Amino acid sequence: MLVNEIFLSIQGESISTGFPTIFVRFTGCNLRCCYCDTTYAYEDGKEMSPYEVFEEVKRFHYKRVCITGGEPLLQKDLNELLRLLGDYAVTIETNGAVPIEDITLCEGHSWVMDMKVPSSGCSNQMVLDNFRYLRDKDEIKFVIGDRNDYDWAKGIIKNHHYKGTITFSPVYGRINCEDAVSWILADRLDVRFQVQLHKIIWGVDKTGV
């Protein structure tokens, strides 16, 4: 497995925002979203076995892990790592462009599927069949950059959403949060609006947090 970084912080986004979390960030991504804030994870990394990753995770004592990237589903030994983390609360952040059906989750594991909107430049690469495999405890995230992204997300929800919490998050610094909230309320959408807490605490460019 090619690992970019492993660190302890608080979760800055998703349903578990604010909780102390161990982040395992893998190297490599099959997308190139225009607003990506982890471009440093495209190539730089260290080869580690699933067991070595697990041993590093154990050093931090907490039992909450976020597996992210890059795109973690590109790692061929991901199922083995998830097995080792069987008694951990694990979220797997995936970019929506890789099939999830062959990944084996344990009881305390869940998906955060980031559906790439038109302004990302990658919306045409989404694997919409993934929606069939999501459960009530999973999350579908839309990072909204403008009104067109918002309307596109509404269409995806209407046509493909079965189960899972839907989160709308603004592209940092690109969209007025008040506008986005007003759209949600005007359309009576049952979605969760959230901002990236880690960027508010540490700023836009700080990594390893």
Give a three-class secondary structure readout of 132-191: HHCCCCCEEEEEECCHHHHHHHHHHHHHHCCCCEEEEEECCCCCCHHHHHHHHHHCCCCC
Nearest CA to 24 among 60, 34, 156? 60
Helix (H, G, I), strand (E, B) or coil at 83: helix
Residues constituting the chain: 209
At residue 7 the predicted structure's pLDDT band, cuts being 50, 70 and 90, is very high
pLDDT at 198: 66
pLDDT the model gives residue 173: 75
What is the average pLDDT value for the chain, to the nearest integer? 93
What whole-number distance in Å separates Cα of residue 193 and Cα of residue 128?
Answer: 22
Between 104 and 209, the higher pLDDT residue = 104
Distance CA 98, CA 7 (A): 25
pLDDT surpasses 70 at 190: yes
Residue 37 CB neighbour total at 10 angstroms: 15
- Checking if the pLDDT of 201 tops 80, the result is no
Could you report the per-residue pLDDT of 61-95, keeping only the tens digit for each? 999 999 999 999 999 999 999 999 999 999 999 99
Q: What is the pTM of this model?
A: 0.90
Taken in order of first residue, the domains within the chain and their CATH numbers are 2-202 (3.20.20.70)
Burial class (CB in 10 A: 0-12, 13-18, 19+), 138: buried
Q: Is the peptide bond before 70 cis (omega within 30 degrees of 0)?
A: yes
